[in-house]
Chains A and B, each alone.
Chain A
Amino acid sequence: MHVDLTMLEWARAQFAMTALFHFFFVPFTLGMSFIVAFFETIYVKTGKQEWKEITQFWQLIFGINFALGLSTGIIHEFEFGTNWSTYSWVVGDLFGAPLAVEGIVAFFMEATFAAISFFGWKRVSKGVHLASTWLLAIGSNLSALWILIANGFMQHPSNEFGFFNIDTSRLEMTNFWALITQPVAQVKFLHVVSAGYTLASIFVLGISSLYLLKGKHVEFAKKSATVAAAFGLISSIFVAVIGDEHAYEVANTQPTKIASAEGLYVGERGAPIVAFGIPKNLKATEVTSNDEGFVFKIELPKMLSLLGKRDPNAFVPGLRDLVNGNSEYGIWPLSKLAAVGKEAKNDLLKYHEAKKAGDTAAMEAAKADFYKVIWEDPKTGIKLTKADLIGYGYFANPNIDPNLIYPPVPPVFYAFHIMVALGFWFILLFILAYVSIMKGTFVENRLVQKLAVISVPLPWIATSFGWMTAEIGRQPWTVFGVLPTAESVTPIALQNVQATFFMFLTAFVILGIAELKILFTVVKNGPKGAH
């Protein structure tokens, strides 16, 4: 298929824009839904009006964000069809199923119980209202689970749950249970939702601290900060722990992503983590040592091997190994992968030509070639067929730069490192706040309060950069190793994509500013008469 590369970049930009905008609201609402449920639980248990006020104030803020999060979510679902129609057809069998399940079992629950939670204060009993608030929180988080199962498949398509069907020329599902229990998706889900809890906790802690610094709503702020600090401390530690597990999964399933995130051009035994550095955007095929890849760096020895392989002396492949190959470690060069992929594409065409001609023998021969086992892991018995490498066939053109097989290093490196650094800062902040609260000195501790206020925007930066690490880091694939991004896009005139890009950009800018202005007004007015 001929693809207009400028259009492809616009389509990518449009998806990135809508995804990022959507992602400003989703993690926040995931966390806030539980925080609101905690406050309401305390209200129902104690029966004290002040807890109801606290619940309603944070629920109002939740509602403002919930509306925008929910409404921008619909764009994603339909953008897969409008801008990524080839992707939708090729992987719809695997990707569409979790999306549909999300709609049936999670999205409806979330939206339906939101009605009672928001409007039912006077219309239903306390118990029914509390149950609805919890079901809203559970529904929101279940939504995230199904979406991340779908995303997990894009990050790590596995023979355990799907295969390329020669008859239909598309990926098809073989094991739903394996799809939903895939480790990549599960750790990703836990990492994302716990990041959402951390984000919401910092917001509540920060706004509460702001009130304390101004000497306003002191009792409200103390109570809110206590719940936020406890929830945030647990969440932020969990984010780091599960983030480590997530990185381990990525290192073993998407080696180009972890190598780009660490600026590792040349594979090493006992590979270090770059704690701080300024990477260069070089061609991996031309790099001879890792020092060339950085203007400046500070390293933690052996840590990348430990993180990625759970062995401080293990070999971690660099980008050069992944492009040129490394026979010592059994890594195939791109040229070999592409050659096999091209053969698979030819087998596919032969099969369909034979089918059209009604030549059964030729069909069977092409099919046998297509599914021929070309490698088998002696330890696990996992087999690799030509069909598994069909995606690499798109890179068989000698005019294609082999360095396009991995993502650009600087954006992935910076996004990953800033996310991790902020993650550690959040743990420290919550420790300071929690200890201060436990000691009973938080109301006077202006330093921690100021740190909390300054930190309010930081988790949005961390979650956005986390998303960028995952999605830019997956390039040049939409489905890693199977379907290239350039082959996934809708063949459409550039002007259409540009026009819709600006259409949504305008809407997002206006709605984003409106949301911030309303939010600031609500925060300024405080909890009294929140509704």
Chain B
Amino acid sequence: MTWAPITVDATHFYLQVYFWIIVAVLGGLFLLMTFVQGGQTLFHTSKTEMEERAILNSLGRKWELTFTTLVLFGGALYAAFPLFYSVSFGGAYWVWMLILFAFVLQAVSYEYMNKPNNLIGKGAYKFFLYFNGVVGMVLIGAAVGTFFTGSNFTYDPVTRVLEWGTAKDGFNLRGLEAAIDFKHGAWFNLAMGVLVFAAARILGALWLINDIDNNEFPELIERLRGVVKRCFVILLVALLVVLYGLLTLKGYAYDIHDPTGKVYLEPGKYLHNLLSFGAIPLILFLAGLVLFVWGVFVTAFKGSNKGIWFSGLGIVLIGIIVFVIAGLFGTPFYPSYADLQSSLTIQNSSGSKYTLEVMAWVSVAVPFVLGYIIWVWYQMKKQGPITREEIQDPESHAY
């Protein structure tokens, strides 16, 4: 089955590119916000109740950021690329359901954990936060991995029949095969999952070091610096596997000018994408890596508490480039290894030109949204880090 891109209209195409860039930016910002999830897996670094509450209150004031970014990421994909929304969420059913489950539990845990009479006890809510931080991050990483390795589906746009698990030698675990089907890149997906998890943990530790009073909690801060060092080693291993995969895996490709939209495999496709546009993607990717590593270095070895800002900016750049090379330059962003021609590209899975135009106008609001988010962060942080006094203040809404 071969099906043509929805349109060859130039304006429509540029809007599709524009929205993929927005998705990439949201993806990058989402990766930054995962410091909340990463931080949630660091409760064991606290040795006293006060240290634990310092971690809880630092993350609890930011938990909504990952959550809202995920919601917005979903909303933007729904509006701009509804076929992806339909195929991926309906197809990789279990992956998304488990991610959802992990996030539903998260929000409540902060609010309920230390409330008297909370039914299942503090430990259960803490487990929910670990679950969100580990399972949620690994699954999201693995799901992003399938943007490169492909998924096991066929789709007919006319009859709207979606079949998941049709490859003769494949599995039908509604998305979970991405983590066990090694013939189709499960090793890459898992490495991506570990990479996202390790990055989230490093960002979480960097955030806590920045947000908790270093003078009042010196031992906790030292233990968190240790986490940064250890997780960085894990991250490096996962990163090497991912980079090896990106350079050696055959990439999915199509010609944006070909009205049939025929998809084929191309060796070194993702490296080619990195070298596109005068190697700007590669330069930004490397800049992101350098910033991320610098943030880790100054925190782990120089005693700085500002590492989150370098590593945070670095991860945003890395995230943007990862999404850019997955979806632009004639690359199907949601490829199918069961049937190459069912693969989704920004052209054949997008909303109509009119809807994208309307949404482009709406997207003008995004800088304002970013503006007030930064303002709120500034307002909350300008009074200094989180202190014992604030946590114990009966008038504060502390967790």
Listed in ascending order, the chain A residues whose CB lies under 8 Å from chain B are 1, 56, 59-60, 63-64, 66-68, 70-75, 77-86, 88-90, 92-97, 99-105, 107-109, 111-116, 118-124, 128, 132, 165, 167-169, 172-174, 176, 349, 352, 490-492, 496, 500, 503-504, 507, 510-511, 513-515, 517-518, 520-522, 529, 531
Q: How many A-B residue pairs have CB under 8 A?
A: 276
Q: Which of B118, B157, B394, B396 has the most CB of A within 10 A?
A: B396
> A68–B107 contact, CB under 8 A?
yes
The 5 closest A-B pairs by CB, nearest first: A92-B82, A81-B89, A85-B90, A71-B107, A96-B78
Q: Identify whether the interface residues of A are mostly helix, strand, loop, or mixed.
A: helix
- Give bound CA distance, A173 to B354, whole Å: 7
Contacts A90-B160, A176-B358 given; does A119 touch B397 at CB 8 Å = yes
Contact of B376 among A84, A104, A115 (CB under 8 A): A115
> B396–A82 contact, CB under 8 A?
no
> B89–A105 contact, CB under 8 A?
no
List the B side residues contacting A73 at CB < 8 Å: 71
Report the minimal beta-carbon distance from A485 to chain B, rounded to whole angstroms: 15
Q: Identify whether the interface residues of B are mostly helix, strand, loop, or mixed.
A: helix
Listed in ascending order, the chain B residues whose CB lies under 8 Å from chain A are 6, 61-62, 64-65, 67-68, 70-72, 74-76, 78-80, 82-83, 85-91, 93-94, 96-97, 100-101, 103-108, 110-112, 115-120, 157-162, 174, 351-352, 354-355, 358-359, 362-363, 365-366, 369, 372-373, 376, 379-380, 382-383, 390, 393-398
> B78–A99 contact, CB under 8 A?
yes
> A71–B104 contact, CB under 8 A?
yes
> B74–A121 contact, CB under 8 A?
no
Report the minimal beta-carbon distance from A227 to chain B, rounded to whole angstroms: 21
> A169–B158 contact, CB under 8 A?
yes
Contact of A174 among B61, B354, B376, B396 (CB under 8 A): B354
Contact of B369 among A70, A104, A118, A517 (CB under 8 A): A104
- Give bound CA distance, A60 to B112, whole Å: 11
> B82–A89 contact, CB under 8 A?
yes
List the A side residues contacting B85 at CB < 8 Å: 80-81, 85, 88-89, 92, 96
- Give bound CA distance, A114 to B316, whole Å: 25
> A107–B72 contact, CB under 8 A?
yes
> A93–B76 contact, CB under 8 A?
no
> B74–A531 contact, CB under 8 A?
no
Contacts A81-B89, A108-B369, A112-B372 given; does A102 touch B75 at CB 8 Å = yes
List the A side residues contacting B62 at CB < 8 Å: 115
Contacts A74-B71, A518-B115 given; does A507 touch B64 at CB 8 Å = no
Report the minimal beta-carbon distance from A102 to chain B, rounded to whole angstroms: 7
- Give bound CA distance, A172 to B351, whole Å: 8
Contacts A108-B68, A111-B67 given; does A92 touch B86 at CB 8 Å = yes
> B161–A491 contact, CB under 8 A?
yes
Contacts A67-B110, A496-B94 given; does A122 touch B395 at CB 8 Å = yes
Contacts A492-B90, A531-B395 given; does A96 touch B64 at CB 8 Å = no
Contact of A82 among B65, B90, B359, B372 (CB under 8 A): B90
